[in-house]
Amino acid sequence: MRVGNKIRGVALLGWVPLLVWACDSTGPDGPKGPGNLSVTMLSPNGVEGSAVFEITGGADLSFTSSQGGEVFYEHVPGSSRVVVILDDPGEINFRVGTTDVAAIPDVSVLQVADGEDQLRPSLSGYEVIVEGEEFPSAPGQGGRP
């Protein structure tokens, strides 16, 4: 290896920490503060009619809402139970209010019924995606805290 190649290699290595720092300090780190958690169930069977979820963790969960159906819920310290019943079979999703969208809770699927209101015999293959959506800041307050 020639001396020029060694110097070039050392110079390139010197940039790596700077690049890592730059990505960490300016890159997106996700929403923070009060907002909603969007919960979507991915079904291996296509459209579904209803589902029961258990939510553990998170930060002071509150109201729950959904479009195209009804949502029933009970929040107790440390966990919540949510039942989503759709008007017409489709993708099951709902939103939960929270004081900190960065505190993503664990969400488990407990039961699922198909579009004919028949319980699925297995929960294998079901997945849940939870994403935080912060509330827009008030005028004059800037962006994220």
Q: What's the average model confidence in pLDDT over 10-24? A: 41
Q: Is residue 61 part of a domain?
A: yes
Q: Is residue 144 part of a domain?
A: no
The rounded mean pLDDT for the chain is: 79
Q: Is residue 98 part of a domain?
A: yes
pLDDT of residue 49: 97
How sure is the predictor about 136, in pLDDT bands with cuts at 50, 70 and 90? low
Cα(58)–Cα(108) distance, integer angstroms: 13
**Residue 94 maps to which CATH number?**
2.60.40
Weakest mean pLDDT among 53-57, 125-129, 141-145: 141-145
Range of the domain at 82: 35-134
Cα(145)–Cα(141) distance, integer angstroms: 9
In total, how many domains does the chain have? 1
